[in-house]
Chain A
Amino acid sequence: MRLINFILLSLITIFVSLTTACNKFTVENVDYSQRIESVLTPDEKGIITDKRYAISFNIQPFKKQEFGDSDSSKVEELRLIRNEDGYYFITASAFKNIYVMQPEKGSLKLVRKIKIGEERISEPALNLRDTTVQLVNRDTGEIYLLTQNGIVEKINA
């Protein structure tokens, strides 16, 4: 009797496993890249909305990271671009860092905070170049090639 029960249970387990395996599949080589950066103006609550790429979030955590709790600096425009792997690269005028964020369920999780230098970048711009994201310091003309892992290359003006 026990043997019969064991066989039945095993069969059911194999059947369920096979069925589940058939419903789960993965699409490879998805390109998430956003060809041109989005430059977004936050509303009075600090929320930016990118209608074209369908993303919306509050920028306060970035502001807090850059300027701390007490700083009342205003972020006029937030710049973001997404690379092929789906990571968001986020910065703004007067930021020192580029924030590499990974989308998760209902949130953006910090993957890496790439510090560019001691000086704040007054006029940053993000371009997508092949597999890298290019940060341009329009003030100095310096260019940084970035991935989610950090700075790959720095090109001086």
Chain B
Amino acid sequence: MFLLRKIIYIAVIIALSSGTITAQQSDYQVAQQFKQSVQELEEQILNAGSTQELNNISEQLDTLQLKYTERRELLDHALYPDSFSEVVRELSREIQSNEQKLLAIERQREEITSLSDKINIYRNEIAFINSRTDSLRNVIAQAQKDRKNLSSAIVQYRNELERRDELILKMVDSLFVTVNSYDGQVYTEIEESLRKRTLSGQEHPLNYLSVLIEKNISTLKHHQDNLTVRDYLRMYAVQQRFEQVWDKIGNDLSKFYGEENAAELKSTIDAKVQDWDASASRNMWASLDVYLEDSNINLPAFDNNSSFFAALEAFIDGEVHSSRDKIFKNVFHKEFQAFYEIWNSKIKDDWGEFVKDGEVLTMNQISTIDAEIMHWENEVEPRSFTIPIMLGLSLMAIVGLIIALARKE
């Protein structure tokens, strides 16, 4: 059936084409019409928005080739220095090349749709968590006197914030993976219409990112007595991760979704990211400082990675220096133990993931502090006086014995 239809189709084309050309009678006109058809096909290839359209164009090219084959010699003259076969081959190459590009675009469009779906899911979940954290904050504010309720609300609130941060990280990673996979050449050729077909209005991820950053800044700027150092470290690590990803994909993402306002949108989000960074950083360093002070570890002032590392080194140096040449080191050893406990169980263990992710301390810095702590431990190790006392007592006993023996004689 299909074969029969194909045969009829070809027969009709041949009948039509030969009739058309014979009726023309002007060679010049035949050549002009061929050139016109080629130009129209070129435009269609350029404007094709799907591989289906290109398949149709390919069929049109077959028809054109069939229609003009008998005038090949004439067209070779008319198209000089090109030739009929070269023109047909070139069109065919253009179709193939555009088909490759369109396939890549279609694949990326699917990725964008999938990304958009993912973002929507994250957005809904984050919105749900936001509404819960808002209401929990109200509960905390109202339940200041009821300790039991207050403590459970605070735990719930912190858990919700943690979940929200996890979702933000997942969303940011999805954006990074998808945008990073865009092929540069194809990327520039993605038509505006394709973007609009996939993403419009509320689905616009950049708008959502902007809202998300504002929400985070608001959470950080809101007076938060109930959050722990760990919470602030996590928020800081999330911000740092977001900023890293934004630095890498911000330009592409803005170009892609921002269309003609790309630069403006990029600089708006840049400013918000900076604001977020400042708030997250300020809160995190302040909470760390307060925690250490409360634990009787008085470090010099710090508000960034290098000053924190320098403060830790200065503190350990000071402690080592103070304990040196002291005979009784119990006090110093207790101070060492207090610091050692915080360093190991808090900074390296409980907060370790965020300390590393947010580069509160780098791995090298942690190793350096570890080495210095070992040196400090050696300095403050309490010394045992049992052996000297025993030796002294033995000596005294011997001397006493000698004196007693001498008197007896």
Contact = CB atoms under 8 A, between A and B. Distances in A.
A37 interface: yes
B260 to A, nearest CB: 41
A37 B27 contact: yes
Interface in A80-117: none
Interface in B68-87: 73-74, 77-78, 80
A138 B25 contact: yes
B162 to A, nearest CB: 77
Nearest to A39: B28
A143 interface: yes
Question: Which of A52, A79, A125, A141 has the most C-beta atoms of chain B within 10 angstroms of its own C-beta?
Answer: A125
Question: Which of B26, B31, B73, B78 has the most C-beta atoms of chain A within 10 angstroms of its own C-beta?
Answer: B26
A136 B23 CA distance: 11
B345 interface: no
A35 interface: yes
A35 B29 contact: no
Contacts of B73: 35
A99 B365 CA distance: 97
Interface in A122-141: 125-128, 136, 138, 141
B74 A141 contact: no
A125 B29 contact: yes
Contact of B28 (A36, A52, A143): A36
B25 A136 contact: yes
A138 B29 CA distance: 11
Given A36-B31, A52-B80, A125 B26 contact: yes
Interface string B22-43: 0001111101000000000000
Contacts of A52: 80
Contacts of A138: 25-26, 29
B373 to A, nearest CB: 87
A130 to B, nearest CB: 13
A128 B74 CA distance: 10
A39 to B, nearest CB: 6
A125 B25 contact: yes
B382 to A, nearest CB: 104
B81 to A, nearest CB: 10
A127 B25 contact: yes
A39 B73 CA distance: 19
A143 B23 CA distance: 12
Size range of the chain A interface in the assembly:
10 to 19
Binding site of B, secondary structure by majority: helix, strand, loop or mixed? helix
Contacts of A79: 28
B28 A37 contact: yes
Nearest to B30: A36
Contacts of A39: 28
A26 B164 CA distance: 95
Contacts of A143: 25
Contact of B78 (A36, A125, A136, A141): A36
B77 A127 contact: no
Interface string A35-46: 111010000000
B22 to A, nearest CB: 11
A36 B25 contact: no
B29 to A, nearest CB: 7
Nearest to A38: B28
Nearest to B26: A125
B396 to A, nearest CB: 127
A143 B80 CA distance: 27
B301 to A, nearest CB: 82
Question: Which of A37, A52, A126, A141 has the most C-beta atoms of chain B within 10 angstroms of its own C-beta?
Answer: A37
Interface of B: 25-29, 31, 73-74, 77-78, 80
Instruction: Give 5 nearest A-B pairs by CB, closest first.
Output: A125-B26, A35-B77, A136-B25, A127-B27, A37-B28
23 contacts: A35-B73, A35-B74, A35-B78, A36-B28, A36-B74, A36-B78, A37-B28, A39-B28, A52-B80, A79-B28, A125-B25, A125-B26, A125-B28, A125-B29, A126-B28, A127-B28, A128-B27, A136-B25, A138-B25, A138-B26, A138-B29, A141-B25, A143-B25
Given A39-B28, A125-B27, A127-B25, 13 more contacts: A35-B27, A35-B78, A36-B31, A36-B74, A36-B77, A36-B78, A37-B28, A125-B26, A125-B29, A128-B27, A138-B25, A138-B29, A141-B25
